[in-house]
Chains A and B, each alone.
Chain A
């Protein structure tokens, strides 16, 4: 069974010196990921972007006074692949080798994406301009798995 759902979340981006990124990762726990040597991404529940950004900025600025930390939620879209066939679906969307859990990045559905594999879902984050395209590709490329689309958005942290 495969379900797809739009994901509601907050996303903070921190661009800073590598040591400052380390500091942000240490405050972000399981929901903070290094996406480049000088960049971190922190995820949180929808609506918490400003608070997350503030926390991340505090941590980053202690180490790098020039760190750039922004609530970048608006710049991202995310879809969750849910169910026993989630990894099968992912294999139809990307050449990235999936893991049981954890963070990946690369091309998904032909767009640059960040992927968080959770216990019950695969979360695919992509720049917001690809929102419609990403949904369309998931439905088309995974058609053989007969995906159903949830009406309600999924909340980050619930999956």
Chain B
């Protein structure tokens, strides 16, 4: 026989059992302890609405036992209570309720200041619902998108009827329910009707029926995410029909949270679906025909109600089964310690105490309308009990059919008209059965707590919610939201405050695991050049740099550095942004964008440019190569490529220029060959003349290297003779291998980002982002030479015009240290912090630590001698290495 393991012992389970029914059959009555006062809590709604049966299943906390099917081998344990749920020492907190009034944590443990951190730890350990797993493997739910015309949430009579009506008119329909179809209906005609509708619906084309998927919200689109069965389905639909039914009114009276107090449908389900009696002596307080049906389910399995408290005329079978019928009575309190032992009923003739071990309360329903209320402004339609609580099956079917037709026939222009007004105007009639009791069982908020909060001045639904935390528990107000609104409304009327309204409905409408929210998101997006495999194969330590995978080093960063300074080296710079700009207005576009002169650039030459925003601040930099025939080739930083393309296209459009921008970043690879012997290596692989005469510094040419067509650009970030070889991506490996082979005898080796960091620093080159701040104009960075202020216009010019007249109060400077500095270290002058180190490294060629850093003026002048922690820093000119650029231009 299949079984589950419950707190160390084996429990046989029956076909159709939920975890809750299996435990209840075994005699478990206390399912959990309440969050604050550690009161016993037992089965109550059996519809997944309340938090009374949260248990830990297979290490996962917060599982609703009443809607979770028992499976062979499950490990179940209760949550709450110490040392056990059954014998909970912390239940003493219930006695201390008057000492821990609502909101006490805002008012106590305030002084001394250390008190709260300590108290918080204790409070957090003593409260809560279950413990998050720390070792259990994280699930990886599948994620997918579904596109339909109509999505229906809820597969009861109304939902199925709506789906059918829409599908019969040719709409594609997805209908979902958090349970199996018919699972919640009492066996008999109602269930048969549901199953019959489902069979008919499945036979229609274009219909998808997803069971055990809970809708957790309605988002713009509209999009309805469904969670369950190990997947997240994002349903994109033109129309959303919410047919989530109703939840029974939660009665409020002293003792309303004792184990043994059931909502009528919950007790009916326990009897009809699982064949279990809620108790041996049941008192039923019922005021609706639906509740009578639930009581009938109990009678059908042999229960004899000790009393039926009602104002209804009872059918004969119920009347004859009941030991007593109490007319016009109201339950005013339930008594008991570990469970219900009696109820006290007020009648016109006085109070009457009735011994019992279970109370069934059926006083009406309220709509389960959280999804409907989330859909304000979206094409969301309610159907069935969610718009007409308590309606009978035929009426629900009719409401569903109408909603289905409406969803198909309304055009989008009328979308606002589709939204059903929230049904949330609170109606407290019949709900307030006693002078006190738990309004919000999830958060342990009683009617007395609400009164206290009201007296303290918290006088609207929203602030009562925030102060008391009512409606903020796992049920998200399903039971208590209307009580809270009614309370605020009634109090408001007395005090002149605004009438109570429901609190805002927000996702998730149903409990959802964090792993479900993260479904489909497993890793960061990762770009690769064509050479990444080569880097790995040659020992490169490849890691993310921005969104690219790049080699940081190949095992010996100092020899990589030495290769650049003394021999020859290659670096994969395929990550650079690369753009081809053509069109008769290409030069005008670039001149309008960049502060440098572009139109005058002769073909075959290039120019370093900075890109400014409208405020004149540097946002990127790059190189513009003039290709002739009015075309240009632009490179940008690796991280700035996407923005650069969008920016150029936007400018071309705004200025109505006839210029075309083609992003070639993915199409082209780039390898930088650098070092004093770089030209020697290159000459071995090309017949083209790459000497300093035909190809001087900043020039570029189309050449062929080892059979690979390349655009060779004489620039370099490292301060040595450099050739940036831009080539077709598919030929990258071929070119890389050829260069390394050709340079083998001169000691060529690739260098990574670590070596580059030192090499560029020696030349005083900045890293945008690392060495810059968001409000840096070119002069602050020492890049004023890139700006041609005599140009009539370029992006940022107007701002620069104003800023150039202002004295420079902060700038980036070169620093020479007498010790080892730390990046980020504050720079101090005469004990005052005047800047910080943005980059620093030991320069092998200079034999000392150098760096870049921000410096601001002190009394109108920039200090020249600073401290960076224990070291002394002197402001020096940049570049540190080869200041005349002789090696670069060689």
| Chain A residues with a Cβ under 8 A of chain B | 13, 15-17, 38, 65-68, 70, 72-76, 88, 91-92, 94-95, 97-98, 110-111, 127-133, 136, 140-141, 143-144
A94 in contact with B580 (CB, 8 Å): no
B199 on the A face (CB < 8 A): no
In the complex, are the beta carbons of B662 and A68 less than 8 A apart?
yes
Q: Which residue of B lies closest to A88 (CB)?
A: B144
Q: Is the CB–CB distance between B525 and A74 below 8 Å?
A: no
Q: Report A-chain residues with C-beta under 8 Å of the C-beta of B456.
A: none
Query: Given A65, A95, A128, A143, which contacts B667 in the complex, CB threshold below 8 Å?
Result: A128
Q: Are A15 and B146 in contact (CB under 8 A)?
A: no
A66/B728 contact (C-beta < 8 A), A92-B144, A130-B525 known? no
- Complex contacts, A92 vs chain B, CB 8 Å: 142-145, 520
A47 vs B526: C-alpha distance when bound (angstroms): 28
Q: What separation, in Å, do the CA atoms of A36 and B236 have in the docked complex? A: 25
In the bound assembly, the distance between CA atoms of A141 and B140 in angstroms comes to 10
Which B residue sits closest to A17, measured CB to CB?
Answer: B658
Asked if A74 and B145 make an inter-chain contact with CB atoms under 8 angstroms apart, the answer reads no
Known: A15-B660, A75-B667, A128-B729. A111 touches B630 (CB 8 A): no
Taking CB atoms and an 8 Å cut-off, the chain B residues in 486-534 that contact chain A are: 520, 522-523, 525-530, 532
Bound together, the chains give a CA A55 to CA B582 distance in angstroms of 19
A74 touches B667 (CB 8 A): yes
**Residues of B with C-beta under 8 A to A129:** 527-529, 548, 665-666
- Are the C-beta atoms of B145 and A91 separated by less than 8 Å? yes
Cβ contacts A to B, 8 pairs, < 8 Å: A38-B660, A65-B584, A67-B660, A68-B580, A75-B729, A95-B145, A129-B529, A133-B528
With beta carbons under 8 angstroms apart, the residue of B529, B582, B631, B730 that contacts A74 is B730
Find residues 543-596 in chain B having any chain A CB closer than 8 Å to their own CB: 548, 580, 582-584, 586
Write out the residue numbers on chain A whose beta carbons fall within 8 Å of the beta carbon of B532: 132
Is B69 at the interface (CB under 8 A from chain A)? no
Give residues of chain B (634-693) contacting chain A, Cβ–Cβ below 8 Å: 658-662, 664-668
Q: Is B234 on the interface with A (CB-CB < 8 A)?
A: yes
- Report the minimum CB–CB distance from B734 to chain A (whole Å): 13
- The answer to whether B662 and A91 have CB atoms under 8 Å apart is no
- Give the distance to chain B from A28, nearest Cβ to Cβ, in Å: 17
Decide: A66 and B660 in contact? CB cutoff 8 A. Answer: yes
Of the candidates A16, A75, A94, A111, the one whose C-beta lies within 8 Å of that of B660 is A16
- Answer whether A128 and B530 are a contact pair too, CB < 8 Å, given A66-B583, A74-B730: yes
Q: A75-B666, A88-B144 are in contact. Are A110 and B525 (CB under 8 A)?
A: yes
Q: Mark B5-21, 1 if CB is under 8 A from A, else 0.
A: 00000000000000000
Given contacts A66-B659, A74-B667, A98-B147, 9 further A-B contacts (CB under 8 A): A15-B660, A15-B662, A66-B584, A68-B631, A128-B666, A128-B729, A129-B548, A130-B525, A140-B522
CA of A146 to CA of B281, assembled, Å: 55
CA distance A67 to B658 in the complex (A): 10
Q: 9 shortest A-B CB distances, which residue pairs?
A: A75-B667, A127-B666, A75-B666, A97-B147, A129-B527, A15-B660, A66-B583, A68-B582, A92-B144
Task: Please determine whether B658 and A66 come into contact, CB atoms closer than 8 angstroms.
Answer: yes
* Residues of chain B at the chain A interface (Cβ within 8 Å): 142-147, 231, 234, 236, 520, 522-523, 525-530, 532, 548, 580, 582-584, 586, 630-631, 658-662, 664-668, 728-730
Partner of A91, one of B146, B580, B666: B146
A142 to B73, CA, bound (A): 29
Q: Which of A13, A74, A88 contacts B729 (CB 8 A)?
A: A74
Alpha-carbon gap, A66 to B658, bound state (A): 8
Chain B residue numbers with a CB within 8 Å of A13 are: 662
Q: Write the nearest CB–CB distance from B518 to chain A, whole angstroms.
A: 13
Q: How far is the CA of A92 from the CA of B144 in the complex (A)?
A: 4
Give min CB distance, A96 to chain B, whole Å: 8
Which residues of A are found within 8 Å of B523, using beta-carbon distances? 136
A74 CA to B530 CA, complexed, in Å: 10
Residues from chain A with a CB closer than 8 A to the CB of B666 are 74-76, 127-129
B residues near A143, Cβ cutoff 8 Å = 142
Contacts A66-B658, A127-B666 given; indicate if A95 touches B234 (C-beta within 8 A).
Answer: yes
Q: How far is the CA of A98 from the CA of B586 in the complex (A)?
A: 38
Determine whether the beta carbon of A141 is less than 8 Å from that of B520.
yes
**Which residues in B have their C-beta under 8 angstroms from that of A67?**
582, 660
B143, B147, B528, B667: which has the most chain A beta carbons within 10 Å? Answer: B667
**B527 proximity list for chain A (CB < 8 A):** 129-130, 133
Chain B neighbourhood of A141, CB < 8 A: 142-143, 520
With contacts A91-B144, A97-B147 taken as known, whether A72 is within 8 angstroms of B236 at the C-beta atoms is no
Q: Report the bound CA distance from A38 to B645 in whole Å.
A: 14
Kindly provide the distance from the CB of A4 to the nearest chain B CB, expressed in whole angstroms.
Answer: 16
Q: How distant is the Cα of A50 from the Cα of B231 in the complex, in angstroms?
A: 45
Closest A residue to B525 using CB positions: A110
Q: Chain B residues near A38 (CB, 8 Å)? A: 660
Chain B contacts for A17, CB-based, 8 A: 658
B764 to chain A minimum Cβ distance, whole angstroms, is: 30
Kindly state the separation between the CA atoms of A16 and B525 in the bound complex, as whole angstroms: 31
Q: How far is the CB of A74 from chain B (nearest CB, A)?
A: 4
Contacts of B729 on A, CB cut-off 8 Å? 74-75, 128
- Picked from B231, B236, B630, B658, the residue with its CB within 8 Å of the CB of A95 is B236
- Whether the pair A133, B661 counts as a contact (CB closer than 8 A) is no
Q: How far is the CA of A62 from the CA of B520 in the complex (A)?
A: 47
Nearest CB in chain A: distance from B355 CB, A:
55
Complex CA gap A141/B548 in Å reads: 22
| Closest Cβ neighbor of B141 among chain A residues | A144
Q: For residue A133, which residues in chain B have a CB less than 8 angstroms away from its CB?
A: 525-528
Cross-chain contact B728 with A15 (CB below 8 angstroms):
no
Chain B residues in 8 Å Cβ range of A91: 144-147
Least distance between A75 CB and chain B CB atoms (Å): 3
- Roughly how many angstroms separate A128 CA and B667 CA in the complex, as a whole number? 7
Q: Which residues of A lie under 8 Å from residue B583 when comparing CB positions?
A: 66, 68
